[in-house]
Amino acid sequence: MMMKTIIYLNSLWLVVAVGLVLTTGARAQNPAMGIIDPVLGQSAQAAVQKMGVEMMKGNFKYGHEHMYPRWKRRLAKRYGGMERLEKGLEASAQKQVQLGMRVIGYQAGVPTSAFTVWRAKKRDPKTGEIVLDATGRETIVDHWLVVVPTTTRVSIPDKQVPGKNYVLEEKSYTLAISEKGSQEWHFLTGMKPTIQDLRSLFPSLPPKEEDLGLPAPSAVEIK
């Protein structure tokens, strides 16, 4: 039964909401290279914790609404359009509820690494238009990618024993992305990116996996 519940966790819960990533890849702050700026780390940690709190409330849409835009567009292309993707995410969240899966605990830890990953034209979050500087030139901004370790506890009903629940504790991480200088964070949620996905999204990521500071994921039954 333990194996079955882990399969449920990986195929439904993590795909829909947590957005775990097995990645490699970036340049800049990493425990082996230097100390993460505390302001940056606290901001990313708080943003991931907020997502976890929303999941505990049953608000699974929060992770969908704060999905990293470039990743969301890529998923939409794979699924045949944004409308189909949105419907698929909604259906997955509903399925999760139907199965009785609940997040009963969530803790975002201190970030393990941070990297500069993307330079792009700054866009107004409301209009989507490119922001110009005082001289009329397009504003170019860098982005942070921060690795935030997470501990999630999920309650899953045992279909074979009515009234009995299993509690799984998942240790992993979430990738949080933000423009430098911004407090608005997005996450790689919706589907677990492959290494190839991350390479194409963020070509500046370092080649060696050990340089990323990624916590080793694990899942154990605790109750």
Domain that holds residue 149: 2-221
Per DSSP, 123 falls in state: B
Q: How many residues does the chain have?
A: 223
CA–centroid distance for 74 within its chain: 15
Query: For the chain (length 223 residues), average pLDDT per consecutive 10?
Result: 39 38 37 70 98 93 92 93 92 85 96 89 77 85 93 92 90 93 91 78 84 86 80
Q: Specify the pLDDT at position 73.
A: 93
Q: Specify the pLDDT at position 124.
A: 75
Tell me the three state secondary structure of residue 94: helix
Q: Specify the pLDDT at position 223.
A: 64
Q: Specify the pLDDT at position 28.
A: 43
Q: Are the C-beta atoms of residues 173 and 188 closer than 8 Å to each other?
A: no
Tell me the three state secondary structure of residue 107: strand
- Using one digit for the tens of pLDDT, what is the confidence trace for 6-41? 333 433 344 433 333 333 333 344 444 457 899 999
Per DSSP, 209 falls in state: G
Q: Which of 65, 68, 61 is nearest to 90 (CA)?
A: 61
The Cα–Cα gap between 148 and 213 comes to: 10
The Cα–Cα gap between 197 and 200 comes to: 5
Place of tokens 């944004």: 82
AA letter at 145: L
Q: Are the C-beta atoms of residues 219 and 6 closer than 8 Å to each other?
A: yes
Other Cβ atoms less than 10 A from the Cβ of 143: the count is 19
The Cα–Cα gap between 37 and 15 comes to: 30
The Cα–Cα gap between 137 and 38 comes to: 32
- Please classify residue 189 by burial: count the beta carbons closer than 10 Å to its beta carbon, then call 0-12 exposed, 13-18 middle and 19+ buried: buried
Q: What is the pTM of this model?
A: 0.80
> What domain count does the chain have?
1
Q: Specify the pLDDT at position 161.
A: 86
Q: Is 218 left (phi over 0), alpha (psi -120 to 50) or beta?
A: beta
Q: Specify the pLDDT at position 25.
A: 33
